[in-house]
Amino acid sequence: MNKKNAGVTTIVVVCVMAIIMALSLSLFLTASVLMKSSASSAAKEQCRILAVTFSRQLEEQITDEDNVYEDRLSENASRAEDIHSLSLWHYVRQEITDGAWPYYEEPGSILHNSENAIRSFTMDPSGVASEIASYDISMYWTHGKEEKIPEYLIIKTKVTVKEQSCTITDRYRLHISDENGYESWKWEHVDKK
């Protein structure tokens, strides 16, 4: 009888161990799914925060009151202060006024299609933020009554973190005042999507 009990006891012990292992594996699987889900949520939130922050930095550059000049001399003096870089405001103005950047129109001619009219930039990967994220900017302008004068500037900021991406679209309206033969440009932030 002892031999029969020993066989049954062994089977019961093996069954109990199998149940404990199954429960342990299910807990491990649940924990790994929760970790992946929380990592994805954290990456998505981090991506949104970085996109909003970067978008605000671009907004400050475009709408900066220091870039509202009264004459060409003061604009050129401001540009000459930092000869190693060109601010976003100066870049936009220079490209549009020189005729190097056509307006965007959908559907447009070959000149005004997305390939020619949308300017795209990717940030150089340097620093801690660029090691965990990639930054892409695309921008274009649309015209108002006159084709050579912008009405709106649209800037799309895209940040990607761990396969999660967030895109912020900002729209700016141009106000021009013409005094003494100089067109003073001032961008006003209209909306953010």
Yes or no: say if 125 and 141 are a contact pair by the CB < 8 Å rule.
no
pLDDT at res. 22: 93
Length of the chain: 193
pLDDT at res. 129: 53
pTM for the complete prediction?
0.76
Residues 6+ apart with CB under 8 A from 88: 58, 61, 62
Yes or no: say if 118 and 138 are a contact pair by the CB < 8 Å rule.
yes
pLDDT at res. 106: 77
Q: List the beta bridge partners of residue 173.
A: 152, 188
pLDDT at res. 83: 64
Question: What are the extents of the domains in the chain?
Answer: 33-192
Give mean pLDDT in consecutive 10-residue pieces for the chain, a chain of 193 residues.
69 91 92 83 86 92 82 74 74 88 81 84 66 86 83 93 89 87 87 86
pLDDT at res. 136: 92
